[in-house]
Amino acid sequence: MQPLEAGEPTAIGPYRLLGRLGAGGMGRVYLGRSTGGRTVAVKVVHPHFALDEEFRERFRREVEAARRVGGAWTAPVLDADPTAAVPWVATGYVAGPSLSDAVGERGTLRSLPDHSVRVLGAGLGEALAAVHALDLIHRDVKPSNVLLALDGPRLIDFGIARATDGTASLTSSGVSIGSPGYMAPEQILGQGVSGASDVFSLGAVLAYAATGTAPFTGDSSAALLYQVVHTEPEVPLPGGDLREVVLACLAKDPAARPAPEEVARRLAPGGAAELVAAGWLPGPLVEQVSRTAVRLLDLEPVAPPPASGPVEFSKPAVGAGVFGPPDPSYIPAPVQESAQGSAQGAAPAAAQSSEPATAGGPSAAPADAVPTPGRLSVSVTAATAQGDNGRGRKVSCTLALAVASAVAAVSLGGVFVFNMLPDRGADSGAGGGTDQSTRPPAATQSATPSQEPGGSGGSGEQLNEIPERYLGTWEGKAQALDGLLPAGTVKVTVQQAAVGKEIGSASMTDELGASTCTDVLILKSVSEKELVATGRAKNKGDARCTQNDHVVRLTPVGDDLQYASENPDGGDPRARLSKVG
C-alpha cells in the first residue's frame, strides 16, 4: 500500500481513506474505513468512464450482479454509487497479497506447495460454483484477482462480470474482456463464454500457483493468444491427481472441462474450509500477511472528510500513466468567472455527496486575470440533447471539473469525448438542460462573428503581411464547451506567409499526454487586432481527431494571444497562449 498523494481524495462516499492499494485499467483502488470501523477496498473508476453513459449502465448492472455473490471465498460488495460524478464500489478488504505478488519472480515464493495449491483450487472452485449458480460468469480469473488470506483464498474483482441473460449489447465492440494467457480459447475466438471459460482460467491459475510460471507463454499478446488457442499447455508437475485436474481444466473443448464443484471435490473431498482450518499457507506468507495485518491496525485516515463534493485526482496520477487531472493549482479563467467565490477561499472537496459543492466568497477575477492557485469543483448537469447527426450526445450525467480535466479530447476538440457531451445549442430546451443565463462565459472570445471556412474574417485594417506580434511558437491550456471542460494543451506556430498560404500549425495534446491532433493553418486575413486562419486536419483518418475545416482566430491580449477555434465538433476550444519560442 502507498500513502495518499497530494490532491488525492481523503474520503469517497462515507469511507475515510487510509492509503492507495493500486491502480489498473479500470481505475484506482484505495484502502478505506467505514464510520463503524470496517476496513474496505474502494475502487474508483477511471474518470473518462464517467463521461460514458453506456459504461455507467454497464457498471450499474455489474454492481447489482456482484452484490448477489455471497460465497465463502469471494470479497463481498458492500456499497457502491454508480451515479456519482466518478462511479465507485466498495468491497470487503482482504488482508493478504495477490497470488501474482506472492508467487513467481516478484513474489515471496517461487511457487506454492502442493497442499496450498489444493486449498487454492478447492476454494476457487467453490467460489465459481456459487457464481455460476447465480447465472453469472467472472470472465477474468487470473493471479492478480486471487488474494491469499490466512482464512483462505478470495476471488475478487467482479467489476467485469456479466450476467448471461442478455447484457452483451452493453459491451463495446472490439473490447476484449479478460487477460491474455488466462482467457479460454473460445473467449479469444469470440465464440461466446460460459462457466467452462472460468474453469479454463482456473486451471491456468492453478498451474501458475504450482509452478511459478503460466502454462502459456509468448513474446507478445498476439503470440500468447495464439499459444492458448493452438498449443498444449506446459505444466511441469509430477504425475498425480493435481496435475490431472489442472490439465482437465485446460482442455481446449469447453465440454471436456470439469465443473467447478467437481474441481473442488477432487482437490478437497471434505471441502476447502476443512483444509484451511488446519493451516494452508506456507510460513513465509503467514509472516507477510501477519505483518500487513498489524500495520493495518495502526493506520489512521489522512484527514477528516469534507462535507461534500466530487472526488478529485492529482497530477502525479497522470504522470504515472493512470489517471487524474492536470496541475490542481490551475483553474481555467472561465470557471473563475462563473464561480460565486474565489478559488483561494474554497476548500478542496473530496467526499462524495448527492449535493454539489458550492463556493462562497469575494467576487470573481476579471476575464483577463491570470488563474490563481487553488481548486474549484463545478458540477454540470447534462440533459439528453439531439446532435446534428441525429442521435443523442449525452444522457443525464453530472460532470465534475476536477474529473473532466483528465479526459479532455485529443483533437482541437476531440470527437470521442465531445460527441458524448450535451449539445450546447439545446441548453434552453426541455429535459433539464443548463439555463443559458447561468453558464460560464467563454474565455475572452473575439467580438467578430464566426465565419465559415473560406469566407472573410478578421477585424481592423487588413494587412499584406503578418505583424511580428503574431510570429513564433505559442502555448497554453485550453477549455472547451464555453469553459466547462479543460481540453488539453494547445500549441500554435505562426510564420510569415501570404493570404491563402500555410502559416503554421495548431496542435492539441490531451490532458493525459497520450495523443496529439494537429491542424494546418491557412491564412485568411490579418490585421493588428486579429489573425484569422482556416484549420485543416492533418491527422486524416484518425477517429480521435476532428476532420472538418474550421476557423481559427488569434487575438492579441497583452503579451499573449487569445486562441479561439470555431469547431463545434471539437467543443469550440479556447485558450490564452504565451510565447514559448
Q: What is the 3-state secondary structure (H, E, C) of 108-166?
A: CECCCCHHHHHHHHHHHHHHHHHHHHCCEECCCCCHHHEEEECCEEEECCCCCCEECCC
**Cell numbers for 1:** 500500500
| 39 contacts 15 by C-beta, under 8 angstroms | no
Annotated binding-site residue? 43: yes
Return the SS3 of 11. Answer: strand
Closest CA to 245 of 271, 265, 225, 228: 265
Closest CA to 151 of 118, 109, 119: 119
- Measure the CA–CA gap between 553 and 549, rounded to whole angstroms: 13
Residues ≥6 apart with Cβ < 8 Å to 274: 268
> CA separation (Å) from 133 to 75, 128, 130, 165, 429?
17, 8, 5, 13, 47
Burial class (CB in 10 A: 0-12, 13-18, 19+), 175: exposed
- Measure the CA–CA gap between 542 and 414, rounded to whole angstroms: 10
Please state the φ and ψ torsions of residue 144, each to the nearest 5 degrees.
-75, -15
Please state the φ and ψ torsions of residue 311, each to the nearest 5 degrees.
-70, 135
Q: Which amino acid is at 192?
A: G
| 301 contacts 33 by C-beta, under 8 angstroms | yes
β-bridge partners, 485: 480
Note if 140 is an active site residue: yes
Residue of 52, 81, 140, 482 with catalytic role: 140
Q: Which amino acid is at 364?
A: A
β-bridge partners, 490: 476, 508
Residues contributing to the annotated binding site = 43
Would you please indicate which residues are annotated as catalytic (active-site) residues? 140
Give the residue numbers of the binding site for ATP.
43
